[in-house]
Amino acid sequence: MNLPNKLTTLRMILVPVFIIVYMILGTGFFACAIFVIASVTDFFDGYLARKHKLVTNYGKIMDPLADKLLVTAALICMVETNIVPAWMVIVILAREFAITGLRAVAASEGIVIAAAWSGKIKTVTQMIAIIFLLLENWPFALVNIPFAQFMLWIAVIMTIYSGAEYIWKARKLFSDM
């Protein structure tokens, strides 16, 4: 297994670790540290895979899955602890299910829907929002700026926008409706 795939696997292993630390031990700071480490692996696995031509089918499948597992686990845990409204998580999950299904149908038709920048921005804004929510909006809470909530709203808006963009790119798939 190459290094990018090991980083992806590490990110998936860190998901249950994050859940245990956050939900059972109740430590947002340590959970945040785990989330940040896992998030950083997301950048490096893709960068290293492209730079060193180590792109594999495992990476193509597991990298986006690992991202979704990490973000989904964090958001669901934060719904459980009343930090994030459930409707926001439902919007985010609905987009993920819809686009995953759309990409699967497109692939079955021989159509590749490349990742868009809006999807990457969506992921980054989600991760930033989660980090600051885990830190209870520190250091912005010191000056009464609701940065974590602002980033959560931006993440939801980018989730909707990127989902719409993917649907628009794949509109030919809907021609038989």
| pLDDT higher than threshold 80 for residue 112 | no
Confidence of residue 114 (pLDDT cuts 50, 70, 90): confident
Sequence-distant (6+) residues with CB within 8 A of 20 are none
Confidence of residue 177 (pLDDT cuts 50, 70, 90): low
Q: Which SS3 state, helix, strand or coil, does residue 172 take?
A: helix
Sign of CA dihedral 82, 86, 91, 92: positive
Question: What value does the mean pLDDT of the chain take?
Answer: 93
Which pLDDT score, from 0 to 100, does residue 173 have? 84
**Most confidently modeled range among 50-54, 62-66, 140-144, 169-173:** 140-144
Q: Work out the burial of residue 24: count CB atoms within 10 Å of its CB; fewer than 13 is exposed, 13-18 middle, 19 or more buried.
A: exposed
